[in-house]
Amino acid sequence: MQGKQIAEFRNVSKTFSSKEGEVHALSDINLQLYQGEILAVIGPSGAGKSTLLRMLNGLEKADRGTVIWQERELETLSARELNATRRKMGMIFQHFNLLAQRNVLDNVSLPLEIHGLSRDKARARAAELLDLVGLNDKARAYPAQLSGGQKQRVAIARALSTDPELLLCDEATSALDPATTHSILELLKKINRELGITLFVVTHEMQVVEHICDRVAVMDEGRIVELSSVKDLFKNPQSSAARKLIYPEGELLKRSYNGARLRLVFDGLSAEEPLISKIILEAKVPVNILYADSKNIEDKTYGQMLLALPDDESASERILALLEREGLSYSIDERELS
């Protein structure tokens, strides 16, 4: 069940000028953000993801269309009102953006001091936040003494210092190794669930989407080409851009196999069924597996598998009859990965 709408992009377009000509960064974007959700915006480099994020906190202004925050159009706000609005939005960057000359405690307390809180009160609040992110023992350390994951935890604590209602995460895990990425994603999920803070996550990493997000907007060439729950995107991607994200080996398979493909989707208990054995033993058809993968989404195991359908029509019919009997989701497409 979706919460109250807190932000909206309404017919938003943005064009930049460059030496090569005009770049249409955003084209007619329509997107809603709901309180308490984790919304991912995913797509390749240059798709317009970061520009969209910068629209939300007023760092970029739309050429056409409107960006709305809590029922107010950002472009109608005065400079003072816009600054007050930005205090409700914490920002987490890919490269942490910590001040090297300040220790961890002072990095986290800095935004509070800027906004007029006394140094003692700011540092007391910073200490609470460092405890929340698991770094209370690093308060006196300097950024150069920290690992990448620790630096990002400091950045998250700093982003939380003004009690934001929204966290903007711009490729927050791209500079981290897989194990550290997992721990940071768990922390972000904890912040969302326990503090009720909405997350707007820009990423090109599908693992980020799978791990913590509720909904996902797929961007390609400045447009949103698909918007759905993470579960539905994985089970039935509609756009070419989404299929490339779901099938990381897609182009290789496209070059290596041109026949009809059978795509199977497993969720919950069906992911544990010995399907391939059943096809071989009951349908009496040898199986050519082109691709297989599994994900953990919303604490359920989802799997997908691509099989090469045999040229023998009767053999294909036996496979499909077995799938119907088992109640499994599938699709057939000569161009599944195109």
The tens digit of pLDDT for each residue in 272-321 reads: 567 778 788 877 888 788 777 777 666 666 777 778 877 788 888 888 88
Confidence at 338, pLDDT banded by 50, 70, 90: very low
| Residue ranges of the chain assigned to CATH 3.30.70.260 | 249-333
In this prediction, residue 268 carries a pLDDT of: 58
C-alpha 183/C-alpha 178 separation (Å) is 9
Buried b (16+ CB within 10 A) or exposed e, 67-105: bbbeeeebeeeeeeebeebbeebbbbbbebebeeeebbb
> pTM value?
0.81
Q: Which residues, listed in sequence order, are joined to residue 218 by a DSSP beta bridge?
A: 42, 226
Contacts of 130-139 spanning 24+ positions with Cβ under 8 A? 130/104, 130/105, 130/154, 130/157, 132/157, 132/160, 132/191, 133/157, 133/187, 134/187, 135/104, 138/104, 139/103, 139/104, 139/105
Count other C-beta atoms under 10 Å from residue 276's C-beta.
14
226: left (phi over 0), alpha (psi -120 to 50) or beta: beta
Check if the beta carbon of residue 7 is closer than 8 Å to that of residue 55: no
> What mean pLDDT do residues 214-238 have?
90
In this structure, CATH architecture of domain 5-243: 3-Layer(aba) Sandwich (3.40)
Q: Which fold has domain 249-333?
A: Alpha-Beta Plaits (3.30.70)
CA dihedral 113, 119, 121, 125 (to 10 degrees): 60
C-alpha 49/C-alpha 6 separation (Å) is 19
The model's pLDDT over 178-213, given as tens digits with 9 standing for 90+, comes to 889 999 999 999 999 999 999 999 998 888 888 899
Amino acid at 253: L
In this prediction, residue 288 carries a pLDDT of: 80
Token pair recorded at residue 12 = 């938003």
Q: Which class for 258: exposed (0-12), middle (13-18), buried (19 or more C-beta within 10 A)?
A: exposed
Confidence at 259, pLDDT banded by 50, 70, 90: low
Token pair recorded at residue 273 = 């069924």
| Residue ranges of the chain assigned to CATH 3.40.50.300 | 5-243
- Could you please report the per-residue DSSP string of 228-259? EEHHHHHH---SHHHHHHH-TTHHHHHHH--S
